[in-house]
A and B are shown apart, each in its own frame.
Chain A
Amino acid sequence: MNNSFLRVSIWVYLVIFFLYLLGPLVIMSVTAFNSSAFPRMTPWECLTFQWFGELFQDQRILNGIKNSLIIGAGTVVLSVAMGLAGALMLTQIWPKLRATYYTIIIAPILIPGVVLGISTLVFWDRINRMLGLGADSFLSNGIFLTVIGQSTFIASYCMLVLVARLQRYDVALTEAALDLGATHAQAFRKILLPFMRPAIASAAVLAFLASFENYNTTTFTFGEYPTLTIELAQKVRYGITPAISALAFIIVALTVFFALLNEAKLKRQELVAAARKSATVEELAGKVKLPSLFAGNMAAVLLVVFAVATITVVGTATAYNPGQCIANVKEQKRLEAEQRIQELRKQREEQRKKREAEEAEQGGAQQSTPKPSNNSGFGNVFAPNTLGGDAEEESSDTETPPSNNGGFGGVFDPNSLQTDQ
């Protein structure tokens, strides 16, 4: 009984955990389809695809993607090469140096990215000055600095991935190749590299992703070549729009797609290997009867579902026109705003009446006191409600309820600053 209680609580915990992990991504993706100008899920206004269009017209985002791809390619080449060299060195370095060497090449993972960015910038700036080159030389180029800065720590990741596979390598293979007359370069290219290929592929993917999403280091080194991440950070800091959600949705969808593809491929290989193992000799001589593509392969099924869903969504997007719905929502908002103004007017009217009544009373009681400001030369200008009301009428499209009667329409309200950021 105790056991089953434990089991249930584990599952509850898992659900909460994955909600925390995946919930934000799901919510962010959903907001990309809401027509509200601020990314939000509630209130739901209209299903729209306009944010995707807006995204693809944004020159800065497109330029950022281009820069990110260039920098990513450079980083992949440099850090996989350095990672491989580092891993090879680790397996054969003088044992007394080994611990020190390992600490040095693993350190960049733990050094804060900000520090790496700064040190790269400062160091190459100094080299640049020592060589007497100008400010527009190759060494102070944003792409060069970013590739160098990112490679410093991404090479460590690559090294870890590569060394794990290198440990399973049998040096006798290289030895045999050398004995058979291969040069060292040939042995490396024909024996070691093919063995390392899967690890090199995953190191390259890892390096590209790490480069693509890096912010801390890049923010100091990018110079005149802002990457996608830098552009996104600028956008997010100075006003967020659902166009960012749209981009996020695309990235999430691509990630899920490739993760499923990879998983389906792995599972498929496993199934094929299992089928081969259990096949009889005759079957092996002829053709191995492979299991059908989707049998027992959950990921492949999901992949197909995912692809169909994507096609449906894209299909709807081209045919669907949310114009009517958006117009409706706008009309509704206008009506609401008008109603609010009416209420406000009524309120003000009542207040005025009340005040007049009070004044009349006071006036009756004390003739000598000057009449309150209402009758002064300024009319009602300084009554706070007037200004507030006007501001409200002007900005009847804003969604903030007219709780704020200050003349500045809530500019100084700390909360509004918050949302503007």
Chain B
Amino acid sequence: MRFWFRRVNWPRNKGPTMPGFLKEFFNRNGIGMGAAILGLVLFWTIGLIILPQLSMLDFSFRPNLPPPEIGGPKDVYTLENYKYLIYGPEGGSQSYNAVDLRVFFRTLLAAVCVTVFNLILCYPIAYYLGQSKGNHIRIFAIMLIIPYWINEILRAFALRIIFGETGVLNTLFVGLGIWDTPFDFIRNDIALYAGLGYAYILLMIFPMYNVIESLDKNQIEAARDLGAPWWRIHWRVVIPYAKPGISSGCTMVFMLSAGALAAPQILGGPSSLWFTQLIYQQFNDNNDWPQGAAYAIVLLVTCILFVLAMMRLFKVNMGDIGK
């Protein structure tokens, strides 16, 4: 900060049109370094983040044309791709695109369920890790991180081995005589939900752990001394304090599970699709890029709106997310 206000003798001939903060920036970092930093940041923010998203948005409003006709007279803006999601193919027998819409809402609902499940599962762990000290905590931390380093596909594969028809669980339960016939976990989507929850445990625990770790133990002790039962301590002291961590964990898990592709492909039943799988099909099987882009936009916008609505509902600040 000290640097910020330092008086500088900027040569006049460098152009008075340059905004003050840019001038300051180059003065502070030198022309070469400043240009390198600015160049990389601009490439990243504009070239990799903003323009591709805008380009995809633009693309989603265009008809699916063969390459020679792109830019030709037929290349006009249209709402066709979005209409398709809602009304289905033109002249179809149904008035709504029931299949795709059902997949869409099911995906969102399932993502919410996975998030809630993860929150309930991880909160006690995060609280325990955050509030206790000792060597075993470090071992626990390693044990938490190791699964996260294993490939996403392999983690899904591991659950496939467990939940398969002749998998470990079925063999166990049939062997014990609890069930007569193998239970089809995959067809009932239990494998899918377990897999999605499994994939994002760490993303839920870490933000919560970071916040809870900084909670002053005296606050808990004070509450206890004043006679609060343990659930009230959590409800009135720990959870309000950990709210930023909880919300960023939930946001990440929700966004990632709504946008997951590997787990549904490997663990999903044959009859149940995830919305990302529809996008994938549009791109790879139907070769209809604009349609796929439109679906992707719908998914992205809906997820963002949903997260913002939830944050409004639980009174969380945007600035707390991602910290």
Q: A114 with B149: in contact, given A39-B161, A122-B59, A123-B51 (CB under 8 Å)?
A: no
Main secondary structure on chain B at its contact with chain A? helix
Q: CB of A313 within 8 A of chain B? A: no
Say whether B56 contacts A247, CB under 8 Å.
no
Chain A 88-130 per-residue mask, 1 if CB under 8 angstroms from chain B, else 0: 1100111000010111111111111111101110111010010
Closest to B155 in A: A24
Q: Does B204 contact A (CB under 8 A)?
A: no
Partner of A247, one of B145, B147, B154: B154
Q: Is the CB of A112 within 8 A of B303?
A: yes
Contact B138 A263 (CB under 8 A): yes
CA distance A267 to B229 in the complex (A): 38
The answer to the question of B125 belonging to the interface, with a C-beta cut-off of 8 Å to chain A, is yes
Question: How far, in angstroms, from A126 to B293 measured CA to CA in the complex?
Answer: 14
Task: Give which listed residue, B48, B124, B138, contacts A10 with CB less than 8 A.
Answer: B124
The answer on a CB contact under 8 Å between B161 and A40 is yes
Most buried by B among A27, A38, A260: A27
Complex CA distance for A82 and B39, rounded to whole angstroms:
9
The reply to whether A415 and B165 contact each other, CB–CB distance below 8 Å, is yes
Query: Contacting A107 at CB < 8 Å: which of B43, B49, B121?
Result: B49
Whether the Cβ atoms of B37 and A88 lie closer than 8 Å is: yes
With both chains docked as a complex, state the minimum distance between the C-beta of B185 and any C-beta of chain A, in angstroms: 10
CB-contacts of A202-224 with B (<8 A): 209, 212-216, 219-220
Closest chain A residue to B263, Cβ basis: A215
Interface residues on A, range: 35 or more
Contact residues in A for B152 (Cβ distance below 8 Å):
213-215, 229
A126 CA to B86 CA, complexed, in Å: 28
Q: Is the CB of B153 within 8 A of A232?
A: yes
**Does A148 belong to the interface (CB within 8 Å)?**
yes
**B319 and A10 form a contact (CB under 8 A):** no
- Interface residue? A28 (CB, 8 A): yes
Does B81 belong to the interface (CB within 8 Å)?
A: no
Contact B40 A82 (CB under 8 A): yes
Give the docked Cα–Cα distance between A116 and B150 (Å): 22
The interface stretch among A13-21, A319-327, A346-354 is: A13-21
Smallest Cβ-Cβ distance to A260: which chain B residue: B142
Tell me if A237 counts as interface (CB < 8 A to partner B): yes
Task: Tell me the nearest residue of chain B to A419, going by C-beta.
Answer: B165
Q: How far is the CA of A245 from the CA of B150 in the complex (A)?
A: 12
Specify which chain B residues have a CB less than 8 angstroms from the CB of A357 in the assembled complex: none
Which B43-94 residues have a C-beta within 8 angstroms of A?
43-45, 48-53, 55-56, 59, 67, 70
Chain B min CB distance to A144 (Å): 13
Given the interface pairs A17-B125, A114-B261, A122-B56, the reply to whether A24 lies near B162 with Cβ below 8 Å is yes
The interface residues of chain A lying within 8 Å CB-to-CB of B108 are none
A86 contacts chain B at the CB level, 8 A cutoff: yes
Give chain A nearest CB distance to B240 CB in angstroms: 22
In Å, the complex CA distance between A92 and B280 comes to 41
C-alpha spacing A31/B208, complex, angstroms = 35
Is B146's CB under 8 angstroms from A259's CB?
yes
Chain B residues whose C-beta falls within 8 Å of the C-beta of A76 in the assembled complex:
none
Contact A255 B255 (CB under 8 A): no
The answer to whether B30 touches A184 (Cβ under 8 A) is yes
Interface residues of B in 158-179 (CB under 8 A from A): 158-162, 164-168, 171-172, 175
B297: nearest chain-A partner, CB-CB: A115
Interface check B258, CB cutoff 8 A: yes
A259 to B319 alpha-carbon distance, docked (Å): 33
Could you tell me if B265 and A237 are in contact, using CB atoms closer than 8 angstroms? yes
Q: Within 8 Å of chain B (Cβ to Cβ): is A155?
A: yes
Q: How far is the CB of A148 from chain B (nearest CB, A)?
A: 7
Supposing A24-B159, A114-B280, A115-B299 touch, asked if A185 and B30 sit within 8 A by C-beta, the answer is yes
* Residue ranges of B at the interface with A (Cβ–Cβ < 8 Å): 2-4, 21, 25, 28-34, 36-41, 43-45, 48-53, 55-56, 59, 67, 70, 121, 124-125, 128, 135, 138-140, 142-147, 149-162, 164-168, 171-172, 175, 184, 186-187, 198, 201, 230, 251-252, 255-256, 258-262, 265-266, 269-270, 276, 279-280, 283, 289, 292-293, 296, 299-300, 303, 307, 318-319, 321-322
Q: Which 8 A-B pairs have the closest CB atoms?
A: A112-B259, A184-B30, A85-B40, A119-B52, A24-B158, A123-B52, A28-B158, A119-B56
Known A42-B168, A118-B293, A119-B52; further 20 A-B contacts with Cβ < 8 A: A6-B230, A82-B43, A92-B25, A114-B261, A122-B55, A122-B289, A126-B55, A171-B2, A184-B33, A209-B149, A213-B152, A214-B152, A215-B261, A229-B153, A232-B153, A240-B157, A251-B150, A251-B151, A414-B270, A418-B270
15 A-B residue pairs with Cβ-Cβ distance under 8 Å, sorted by A, are A22-B146, A28-B161, A86-B40, A86-B44, A111-B259, A112-B255, A114-B259, A118-B283, A152-B48, A212-B151, A237-B265, A240-B160, A248-B150, A251-B154, A252-B146
